[in-house]
Structure 1
Amino acid sequence: MHYIKFAFLALIGIVLLMVALANRGMVALRLLPEEMADLLGFNASINLPLFIVILGFVLVGLFIGFFWEWAREYKYRAAASSRRRRAEKLERENERLRQSTGAHQDEVLALLENGARKG
């Protein structure tokens, strides 16, 4: 299984390298369209290789997706946390009741012993 994981990661690396080599051309990224930038007098642009732009936006998309899913699952995490706290509270109460009655044995054995005494 370990080898399959490494083979898969190597395959992804090779594909990313091929994408990078095939898209080495420089592109200009502009904050605003050219006409609007001239009108406002604010022309912010940067020249980058195309593969950096492609991979950068893939990473941005992944992070947005991870955050969106994390936010969507909040109600399930909150419900699980609430149930965990309730279970811990009930376990503490159960242990307190066992100590107060002095019954340190298994409930099934206690029922069998009580049945044997009555019969």
Structure 2
Amino acid sequence: MIRYIRLAFLGLLGLCLLTLALANRAPIEVRLLPDDLAALTGLTWSMNLPLFLVIFASIIAGVLIGFVWEWFREHGHRATAAQKAREVARLERELAVLRDSRSVPPQDDVLALLDRR
């Protein structure tokens, strides 16, 4: 059931994006810098693109920037989790060594009697 809902949602989203692309096919000029700044620096790069490509590229750029931003923001949490995982692994190794050392029976009869208490 969830699979069909997901497929219907993706189909509806695809239809909306296709409609948006067909409605915004007119070419626009995309410039690197504003006119005054471009004249000052000599960088007059521009390109004619359909408006829907500019819209879709902006959406994709925004999503990628958001992912990278969150990845950097969560760096502290990941570092703390890795540190705790290393500490747990060290303590588990130490516990295993302690259990192994206690499982060896003492060689002396007096010590064996004392361990039974």
The match for 1:4 is: 5
CA RMSD of aligned residues (A): 1.8
The match for 1:37 is: 38
Tell me, in whole angstroms, the C-alpha distance in 1 between the residues paired with 2:41 and 2:72.
37
Instruction: Provide closer, same or farther for how the CA distance between residues 8 and 101 of structure 1 changes in structure 2, counting only shifts above 3 A.
Output: same
The match for 1:87 is: 88
Deviations 1:67-113 (A, max 9, x none): 0011000110111111111111111111111111118xxxxxxxxxx
Tell me, in whole angstroms, the C-alpha distance in 2 between the residues paired with 1:39 and 1:94.
70
The structural deviation recorded for 1:36 is 3.4
Q: Are 1:16 and 2:14 counterparts? A: no
* Percent pairwise identity: 48
**Equivalence map 1:94-113=2 (5 Å):** 94-102=95-103
The match for 1:48 is: 49
Q: Which runs of 5+ in 2 are unaligned?
A: 105-115
What is the DSSP-based 3-state SS (H/G/I as helix, E as strand, rest coil) of the residue aligned with 2:44?
coil
| TM superposition score normalised by structure 1 | 0.80
The match for 1:68 is: 69
Following TM superposition, the consecutive aligned residue runs of length 4 or more in structure 1 with deviations greater than 2 angstroms are 34-42
Instruction: Provide closer, same or farther for how the CA distance between residues 82 and 42 of structure 1 changes in structure 2, counting only shifts above 3 A.
Output: closer
Instruction: Provide closer, same or farther for how the CA distance between residues 42 and 80 of structure 1 changes in structure 2, counting only shifts above 3 A.
Output: closer
| TM superposition score normalised by structure 2 | 0.81
Q: Which moved more, 1:54-63 or 1:4-13?
A: 4-13
**How many residues are paired up?**
105
Tell me, in whole angstroms, the C-alpha distance in 1 between the residues paired with 2:97 and 2:9.
53
What is the DSSP-based 3-state SS (H/G/I as helix, E as strand, rest coil) of the residue aligned with 1:43?
coil
Matching residue's letter, 1:14:
L
Q: Which runs of 5+ in 1 are unaligned?
A: 104-116
